[in-house]
Structure 1
Amino acid sequence: MPLFAVQYTYAHEKSAERDDHRTDHRAWLADLVRRGIVHSSGPFADGGGALMMVEAPTAADVEALFDQDPFAKRSLVENRVVREWIPVFGVFVK
């Protein structure tokens, strides 16, 4: 199944709101990890966004899935980019 990189960009002015909903966001992601959909997830060190590696049939499926993120539902993600990624070396190669 295809692998997708999902990149979030956060608006600095909404950091307090993200803090308020981080527990729900991480619980949502943890469930996707448990189900084998998300393979890796985490914020960028500068706090400006996050990156998730997601296995799904299509980019449209990823978009629909990430519309359900508690951060997305509360408009706490300024920008989201979903790109299919083809790993050649490393832990994501099947």
Structure 2
Amino acid sequence: MFVVTLSYTVPMEQVDAHLEDHRAWLDQQYAKGALLASGAKVPRTGGILLVVGLDRAAVDALLAEDPFAKAGVAEYDVVEFTATKTAEALADYRETPAS
């Protein structure tokens, strides 16, 4: 599982110019099962994505297709972690730690 933080690198007006395309891209990733959650940081300086079911190379490829990445309006920080405990509603996403 991956936590991806987006940080905007340009004024908000430039980010907003790509927001509709970014949201459509998010919808596509949810339909594919790649996203578990997403949303804006508070304050709105970027966003957070919770990515599942992919390896690191696939996550990098997925992020490269984000309209925000293509437009150069955001930078991404990717953290991989093993979700060994979850809320019951997320039990399907629990992972066994590597030995």
**Shorter-chain-normalised TM-score: which range?**
0.7 to 0.9
Identity between Structure 1 and Structure 2 (%)? 30
**Number of equivalences:** 90
Gaps of 5+ in 2: 93-99
Partners of 1:85 and 1:65 lie apart in 2 by: 18
SS at match of 2:49: strand
Q: Which residue of 2 aligns with 1:81?
A: 77
**1:9-88 equivalences in 2 (<5 Å):** 9-11=7-9, 13-77=10-74, 79-87=75-83, 88=85
Q: State the superposition RMSD in angstroms.
A: 1.4
**Preserved contact between residue 40 and residue 53 of structure 1 (Cα < 8 Å):** yes
TM-score, scaled to structure 2: 0.82
Gaps of 5+ in 1: none
The one of the two structures with greater contact order (alpha-carbon pairs below 8 A, sep at least 6) is 1
Equivalent residue in structure 2 for 1:6, among 4, 8, 12 = 4
SS at match of 1:7: strand
Instruction: Give every structure 1 segment of 4 or more consecutive aligned residues whose post-TM-superposition deviation is greater than 6 Å.
Output: none
